[in-house]
């Protein structure tokens, strides 16, 4: 509080940087000429952040994206601050040999004072969307735990010379338990009981996701018209992107999810690199799964033909085709979202049919 009084005595604050910690966060306030007005630390709690933010009404405040950045940005905005959330994977921050919480806070303040775009700011989703996304995050962890238990069961049986039959994870218990050697029943029974409980919990979450999509996110129905895109992928896409109009074009959605090639051009050197992998990794993995469905079991479409043409020639081209189709899906889903249309397997044929119909109507009108 004393530091806040001294800041008021010396003049107005132009920018503030906060290095967020799990228990305490360090902050640095700068005057318009770039000189340090004050430093301090604040407890990382809603009440403390709100009280601190009220000392900076209308001031631009920079924080880094992280576990606490979502609710902190909402609290500081409520306090009257202009909050900029920096993308830590794209801005360099302080030098390695002088990196500490005080210097990180000052670096954020100096950059946001000059040009917030240098922080590659991100936009957090709303609190309700964050709560809804928690259903999907919890389901993903349960799926991961189930996969680990299935792999453990297979490994234990294999170590004694046996082998469990192939089975989908949801039906692993009834199909494989009869094949478990009798001498392993006592050891593996708790594991199989855990699998039964996980399956029930996953089914409950699936029903909750379906209900949530129907009641509050009706736009997911258009996204699910694409073969291979189910309720989990559609809802994850909608909740992760938040506002579709934040992107200048549908192509920007693919880049936002990291499904574009990285660039490291220097002079005449322009190497061919892998994808950027920025953005939400879980949604990116879901889109790759959908791309696998499109190329393998999905019905015929222009997208499938395009992907299969890329996939010919071995495993590496097929992996590249999966990523390319996933990027196309990211762009396509955004286009369906903003346009209100449903998926059309062969859009060029539809356009040609419309043109022919329009031509016939024009010719008929001319004869009349």
pLDDT in tens, 204-248: 999 999 999 999 999 999 999 999 999 999 999 999 998 899 888
**Per-residue pLDDT tens over the stretch 327-338:** 999 999 999 999
Task: Write down the pLDDT at residue 347.
Answer: 83
Task: Write down the pLDDT at residue 317.
Answer: 85
Task: Write down the pLDDT at residue 354.
Answer: 46
Average pLDDT taken over every residue of the chain: 87
Average pLDDT over residues 175-181: 95
pLDDT over 70 at 261, yes or no: no
Task: Write down the pLDDT at residue 263.
Answer: 60
Contacts of 164 (CB under 8 A, 6+ apart): 153, 154, 157, 158, 176, 179, 180
Contacts of 133 (CB under 8 A, 6+ apart): 125, 236, 239, 240
Task: Write down the pLDDT at residue 9.
Answer: 46
pLDDT over 70 at 138, yes or no: yes
Average pLDDT over residues 261-289: 75
Distances (CA, A) of 336 to 89, 215, 238, 340, 341: 30, 19, 12, 6, 5
Question: What is the Cα–Cα distance from 170 to 363, expressed in whole angstroms?
Answer: 59
Average pLDDT over residues 101-119: 93
Which is more confident, 70 or 267?
70
The domain spans of the chain are 2-119, 126-216, 246-368
pTM, rounded to two decimals = 0.80
Average pLDDT over residues 307-319: 85
In this structure, which topology does domain 2-119 adopt according to CATH?
A: Nucleotidyltransferase; domain 5 (3.30.420)
The answer to which of 149-158, 169-178, 314-323 has the lowest mean pLDDT is: 314-323
pLDDT over 80 at 183, yes or no: yes
Helix (H, G, I), strand (E, B) or coil at 295: helix
Task: Write down the pLDDT at residue 262.
Answer: 65
**Per-residue pLDDT tens over the stretch 3-23:** 544 444 456 899 999 999 999
Q: How confident is the model at residue 97 (pLDDT cuts 50, 70, 90)?
A: low
Average pLDDT over residues 341-349: 85
Which is more confident, 352 or 110?
110
Contact indicator for 229, 329 with CB cutoff of 8 Å: yes
- % of the chain at pLDDT higher than 90: 68
Question: What is the Cα–Cα distance from 125 to 113, expressed in whole angstroms?
Answer: 24
């Amino acid at each position: 509080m004393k530091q806040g009084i001294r800041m008021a005595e010396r003049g107005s604050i132009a920018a503030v940087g906060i290095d967020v910690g799990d228990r305490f966060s360090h902050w640095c306030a700068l005057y318009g000429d770039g000189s340090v007005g004050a430093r301090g630390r604040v407890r990382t709690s809603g009440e403390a952040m709100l009280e601190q933010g009220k000392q900076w009404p209308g001031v631009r405040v920079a924080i880094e994206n992280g576990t606490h950045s979502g609710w902190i940005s909402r609290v500081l905005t409520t306090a009257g601050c202009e909050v900029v959330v920096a993308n830590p994977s794209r801005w360099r921050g302080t030098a390695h040999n002088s990196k500490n919480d005080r210097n990180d806070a000052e670096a954020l303040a100096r950059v946001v004072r000059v040009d917030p775009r240098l922080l590659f700011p991100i936009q957090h989703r709303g609190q309700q969307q964050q709560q809804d996304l928690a259903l999907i995050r919890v389901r993903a962890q349960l799926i991961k735990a189930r996969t680990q238990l299935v792999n453990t069961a297979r490994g234990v049986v294999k170590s004694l010379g046996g082998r469990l039959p192939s089975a989908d994870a949801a039906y692993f218990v009834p199909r494989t338990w009869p094949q478990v050697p009798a001498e392993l029943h006592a050891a593996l029974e708790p594991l199989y009981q855990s699998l039964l409980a996980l399956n029930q919990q996953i089914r409950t979450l699936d029903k909750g996701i379906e209900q949530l999509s129907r009641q509050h996110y009706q736009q997911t129905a258009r996204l699910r018209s694409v073969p291979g895109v189910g309720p989990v992928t559609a809802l994850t896409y909608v909740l992760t992107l938040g506002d579709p109009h934040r992107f200048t074009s549908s192509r920007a959605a693919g880049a936002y999810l990291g499904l574009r090639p990285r660039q490291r051009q220097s002079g005449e050197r322009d190497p061919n690199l892998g994808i950027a992998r920025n953005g939400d990794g879980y949604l990116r993995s879901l889109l790759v799964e959908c791309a696998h469905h499109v190329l393998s079991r999905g019905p015929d479409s222009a997208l499938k033909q395009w992907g299969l043409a890329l996939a010919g020639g071995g495993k590496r081209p097929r992996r590249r085709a999966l990523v390319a189709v996933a990027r196309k899906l990211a762009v396509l889903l955004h286009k369906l979202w903003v346009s209100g249309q449903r998926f059309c397997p062969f859009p060029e044929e539809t356009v040609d049919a419309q043109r022919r119909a329009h031509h016939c109507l024009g010719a008929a009108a001319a004869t009349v």
